[in-house]
Amino acid sequence: MGICLQHMEIFPLPLSRYVLKYILGCNITWYDLAFFDSSLFDSLRSIVYNENDESYQSQEFFNQLEMTFAVDLPAEEGGGTLELGWC
């Protein structure tokens, strides 16, 4: 990519919106997911946003789902399971 810039050539590899934002140092939001996979974005949005009331779901709604998130770390990174919490 640097060589293309140096020689004023067009970079032959199309990059996704979130990749360009990462390279430029811009914040990546979950709205960028809509440009990558619109059906996944719509599915996640329907979970978070209640269209009947035109408001966001309450914390109680998410607590009732009893979802937990964990990542299994490879041995190179210390192994084990890392529990991910809510922000």
Residue 56 has phi, psi (to 5 degrees) of: -80, 150
Residue 58 lies in a domain: yes
Give the global pTM: 0.50
Flag whether 23 is in a domain: no
- The mean pLDDT of 51-69, rounded to a whole number, is 80
Q: Report how far apart the first and last C-alpha atoms of the chain are (Å, whole number).
A: 36
Tell me if 1 is assigned to some domain: no
Region 25-46: what's the mean pLDDT?
86
- The answer to whether residue 17 is domain-embedded is no
pLDDT at 87 > cutoff 60: no
CA angle at 77 for the pair 73 and 82, rounded to the nearest 5° = 35
CB atoms within 10 A of CB 46: 11
Percent of the chain with pLDDT over 90: 1
Judge whether 13 lies within some domain.
Answer: no
pLDDT classification of 39: cutoffs 50, 70, 90: very high
Asked if the structure places residue 79 within a domain, the reply is yes
Domain count, the chain: 1
- Picking from 41, 40, 39, the residue whose alpha carbon sits closest to that of residue 31 is 41
d(CA 23, CA 14): 13
**Domain residues for 67?**
28-87
Kindly state whether residue 74 falls inside one of the protein's structural domains. Answer: yes
Average pLDDT score over the chain: 83
